[in-house]
Chain A
Amino acid sequence: MEESHQYEGRKFVIGGFVVVVVLIYMVRLFVLQISTDDYKKNAASNALLKRVEYPSRGIIYDRAGRLLVYNQPMYDVMLVVSEMKGLDTLDFCRTVKITREEFDQRMAEMKNRNANPGYSPYTQQLFLSMLTAEECGVLQEKLFKFHGFYVRQRNIRQYGSTLASHLLGDVGEISQKELDRDTLDYYAAGDYVGKAGVERYYEEELRGTKGVKILLRDVRGRIKGQYMGGQYDQKPIPGKNLTLTIDSALQALGERLMQHKIGAIVAIEPATGEILCMVSSPTYDLREMSGKQRRKTFSRLFLDPHKPLYNRAVQGVYPPGSTFKAAQGLVYLEEGIVNTSTLYPCPHGFRLGRLKVGCHGHASPISVVPALSTSCNAYFCWGLYYMMRHKQYPDADSALTVWKDHMVSMGFGYRLGTDLPEEVRGFIPNASFYDKRYGKGRWTGATIIHIGIGQAEIGLTPLQIANLGATIANRGYFITPHLARRIEGGTIEERYRTPRHTSVRPEYYDIVRQGMRSAAIGGTCHFLNTMPELQACGKTGTAQNKGRDHGAFMGFAPMENPKIAIAVYVENGGFGATFAVPIGGLLMQQYLQGKLSERNEAVAERISNTVIHYGLQER
């Protein structure tokens, strides 16, 4: 008993030991739980799986509300390798119509962590992509036999018709370059984005906003439910639907008339700048650019010497030929180089010393209205010649600068700013361009005489030519041509609602309108005279070329209160009146009257079936 009391003090040693241990453990708890965030982050990356929820892409309609582009469900076959057991490989291959070799190859690709960094045997991995509903239906019936296989739905683009492929554009998997440009980090590899046309231009509106579902993932990668009952989840916001300005009937007629030919058509509603049709020929079928076949189709089209992927309406830079005379006439009138009574001689052409620009037979001398109507080359050459040496300008350089500024105000030389990412600016030469080529003060109007008739250096896109027509129709202003008519839950850009006035006064436009009207009644555009009720105005163009001439037409109708302005450009189409004028006239009738007359139906059929042979030269 005494002995035990001797050691009673040791209870403090033992008790103290326990207290110290508990204190050490509490300090350790403090270090782990409060002094650092590392473990919290570690825990989140352990257990939380953020699964992206894809929104449906906006649907695209034409101006009448007809479906142009919509979504179609496709099915991906997913595989969880760890759940796969007792697979009848032969049966599976037969069901999804692949060979045994393809099966093995696909399996190896999927398991290769270099090609598929997210591979885990416990989570769903993409095994086969984009099966159609029919293909998937067959699989789904047998799915119970194939343990570990799942089907995932995903939307791809589908098209109401083969029309308007260029302006609609395709949708494809995002490229590395596009990912690098995505500074907001919205996209992830494998996402689908608009690759061309309005699909690309309106990508942000059409795509919607991805949502996210935060899921709990267990140690083996299996999903065990939603994090915090889904309160931090974000629902995907579907893309906005887009109504285009395109008139499908007009577009269809344009594409029909342009088949077997290379070229472009653009029609604009002058009052609004809405693009009624935009044809680029040759064209392709967007349906072949969707889903599984995209890669194959793309490389075929990319290598085609006729460049069907190229949207000639906004990417093709052509010499406008005589259609440009309307713009020249406007500048000469505005600058006072000519007035309605100014006459220039045309002895079958423009002659100055050894310089000669040929013309065809018509009365001479000639004033501006008949010059436009007969498309007299000499008149516009003289105008340019005199403008470049006019004493109101210190020298030819400043004269050309004035000329260029007028041209730019009409929408040439720079991108118009239409809602197509492919649009190019064309070319309008300025003084320094010629100074560089010929030397400062070493060139005159005579040196550059061919730009007077829209040849040589002048390069316009068919859209710019059509816009010239719209500007003349409007007597001096245009609204930037555009394809978006309505964005559901959004507004179209300000510039597509604001008129842009040119630097030429409206009264001069009246003179040019008269010239174009008389071209339609008794001049080069005689096809238009077969439809007097359209009150059409027009200007042909024939651009000289290495091969056969390019045929062009620029016009609008009706003369009063115009409803449609058109540019037609047919590569190697010969004289403008051969194909370009009838095509323009047929489109005018279609748009203004809703259908073609019986006689014109025959014309349309004939033009449509006419094949222009093109060599395989670089284009």
Chain B
Amino acid sequence: MDSRKGSSLFRSIDWVIVVLYLILVAFGWVSIYGASYDFGTTELLSWESRTGKQFVWILCSFGVGFVLLMLEDRLYDMLAFPSYVLMLLLLVATIFLAGDVKGSHSWLQFGPVSLQPAEFAKCTTALALAKYMSTYGFSMRNPQQCAKMAAIILIPIVLIIAQRETGSALVYLSFLLMLYREGMPGAILYSGFCAVVYFVVSIRFGSLYFPDGATPVGPFAMLLTVPLSAIGMIMVYLPERKSVARTILLASAAALLLGAGVDYFVHFNLNYVLLGLCGLILLYLAYNWLAERSYRYLLIGGFVLGSAVFVYSADYLFNSALEEHQQTRIRVLLGMEDDPTGAGYNVKQSMIAIGSGGLSGKGFLNGTQTKLKYVPEQATDFIFCTVGEEEGFIGSSAVLVLFLALILRIIALAERQTHAFGRIYGYCVASVFIFHLLINVGMVLGLTPVIGIPLPFFSYGGSSLWGFTLLLFIFLRIDAGRERR
């Protein structure tokens, strides 16, 4: 290794990300110190305390980061598949070897240290995806290739669910963002978004009725969006067939007016009108498909049918597919149930802790709610509470802005890659960070369901810190080598 190479590497590393990383890790360590500080005890770096352990994890992750930067960037390309396969084997082994930690079988014990392979699998999966999708001739239009790509994502999900780590498994869904960037139709993300909205609104307002006494509000509002979505899709995907959209719009307006008029005299469930309307739209789309042979009509029709079915099966899904505690969590989140000692307790206490921080916080180590253990999991999943309580609005906003800067920077770096491998991998990294930020902070703020995933660089734990370091620094190394490709 000659000195010229070293200095050029030094120059081509993106120092913005390195600095953001260092700031976040330092902020995170301070927060863990605050969260695990027990009034009256002072040992700072003792191996016994979480603070001391985390300090060691941080030093190790610096070492990992340094080594990753020193390796040849081609190595990541080369090792993508082997490491993915190796990781799958490790995940399978974990299912059988891991002991029970709070119901989860995802921790492997190595003497005093326990590791969670699922945290590292994100990285290997991202590498494998990037590798596969950047191979010459890959196209998302090819169903066979698409299936293989989906398998790369789904296998680790299945294995991690088998370890009873549903939260970590959901993280892999974030790769949809990367797929969207790589050309996946936006309609898929839109459908996913609609599914969540249908689900939430149907559950939340399913038992609320309009003044006519016969029409439940939730399904009505959702079914109403279906023709609108269909019209929007026709405008986007069949821009030359605006007349079809216009016909659907007119038919919808007419059906609604008719329904409302009849309902004025005889109260009945208006949703039947909307369902009938959906049926008419389906027939109309089928007719167009037969006439023009454009598969896009079929896809739009599928969306309409799927929406109607999903709106009506949300209740059933909620009651049968989700476990009791998950149902309660969702009901509490939607404000349908008050359960301050059970499922609502964590979120309520975390909101109290954050809310009591005020503008500038109570000051470092002065947080009472987190120190006195009112907030559960305060050093791990609920670490953001400590920031909120001790550093206030200013501190917690600063953390959010730092994450925003990091994610936007990763996106920017991904876009400047000259090779698809780097870009895809970069988007994978960004997607993982976006998902963790969205879910973890949302959960602490009482906006998303309680899903136990860590806040990157903040939550206590070596596995998650190393996992994120691995993700980020491999990307940095790939980015540093982009010129030579």
In chain B between 358 and 382, which residues have their CB closer than 8 angstroms to a CB of chain A? 358-359, 366, 368-369, 371-374
Interface string of B390-414 (1 = CB under 8 A from A): 0011001100110110011001001
What per-residue 1/0 map shows which CB atoms of B335-354 lie under 8 Å from chain A?
00000000000000101111
The 0/1 profile, CB within 8 Å of A marked 1, for residues 199-230 of chain B is 00000000000000000000000000000000
Q: B183 to A43, Cβ gap below 8 A? A: no
In the complex, chain B residues whose CB is within 8 Å of the CB of A227: 368
B182 partner, pick from A7, A24, A29, beta carbons under 8 A: A7
- Does B355 contact A38, Cβ atoms closer than 8 Å? yes
Question: Is A22 a contact partner of B371 (Cβ separation < 8 A)?
Answer: no
Chain A interface size, as a band, is 35 or more
- Known contacts A3-B183, A18-B408; decide if A29 and B393 are in contact (CB<8 Å): yes
Q: Which of A217-225, A388-396, A498-506 faces chain B?
A: A217-225
Q: Cβ of B404 and Cβ of A34 under 8 Å apart? A: no
- In the assembled complex, how far is the CB of residue B120 from the closest CB belonging to chain A, in whole angstroms? 24
Contact assessment for A7 and B356 in the assembled complex, using a CB-CB cutoff below 8 Å? no
| Chain B residue nearest to A21 in the complex (CB) | B438
Flag whether A32 is at the interface (Cβ < 8 A): yes
Contact of B372 among A1, A39, A224 (CB under 8 A): A224
Is residue B306 within 8 Å, beta carbon to beta carbon, of the partner chain?
A: no
Alpha-carbon distance A36/B393, docked complex (angstroms): 13
CB neighbours (8 Å) of B388 from chain A are 29, 32-33
Q: B408 to chain A: which residues have CB within 8 Å?
A: 15, 18-19
Interface size on B, residues (CB 8 A): 53
Interface residues of B in 6-41 (CB under 8 A from A): 38-40
Q: Is the CB of A39 within 8 A of B352?
A: yes
* Closest B residue by C-beta to A43: B356
Task: A1 to B372: give the CA distance in the assembly, Å.
Answer: 56
Decide: A6 and B352 in contact? CB cutoff 8 A: no
Neighbouring A residues of B414 by C-beta, 8 Å: 11
Q: Does B248 contact A (CB under 8 A)?
A: no
- Say yes or no for B423: interface residue by CB 8 A criterion: yes
Contact partners of A7 in chain B: CB under 8 A: 181-183
Tell whether A25 pairs with B445 under 8 Å between CB atoms, given A18-B404, A47-B372, A219-B374. yes
Residues on A with beta carbons closer than 8 Å to the beta carbon of B373: 218-220
- A26 at interface, CB cutoff 8 A: yes
When chains A and B are docked, how far (Å) is the Cα of A3 from the Cα of B374? 52
Choice from B351, B366, B430 contacting A39 with Cβ under 8 Å? B351
A14 touches which one: B181, B366, B441 (CB < 8 A)? Answer: B181
A39 near B356: Cβ-Cβ < 8 Å: yes
Contact A46 B352 (CB under 8 A): yes
Flag A1-45 by CB within 8 Å of B: 1 or 0 each: 101101110110111011101101110111011101011101110
Question: What CA separation (Å) do A32 and B356 show in the bound complex?
Answer: 8
* A216 interfacial contact with B, CB 8 Å: yes
What chain A residues lie within 8 Å of B420 (beta carbons)? 1, 4
Contact with A along B141-157 (1 / 0, CB 8 A): 00000000000000000
* Chain A residues, CB < 8 A from B423: 4
Q: Say yes or no: A34 contacts B177, CB within 8 Å.
A: no
The CA-CA distance from A48 to B107 in the complex, in Å, is: 37
Task: Find out whether the CB atom of B393 lies under 8 angstroms from the CB atom of A224.
Answer: no
Q: List 25 A-B contacts (CB under 8 A).
A: A3-B183, A4-B183, A7-B182, A10-B180, A11-B181, A11-B411, A11-B415, A13-B180, A18-B404, A29-B393, A29-B445, A30-B393, A32-B354, A33-B354, A33-B396, A39-B351, A39-B356, A42-B352, A43-B356, A43-B368, A46-B349, A46-B368, A216-B368, A218-B372, A219-B374
Q: Point out residues on A near B: beta carbons under 8 Å.
A: 1, 3-4, 6-8, 10-11, 13-15, 17-19, 21-22, 24-26, 28-30, 32-34, 36, 38-40, 42-44, 46-48, 216-220, 224-225, 227-228
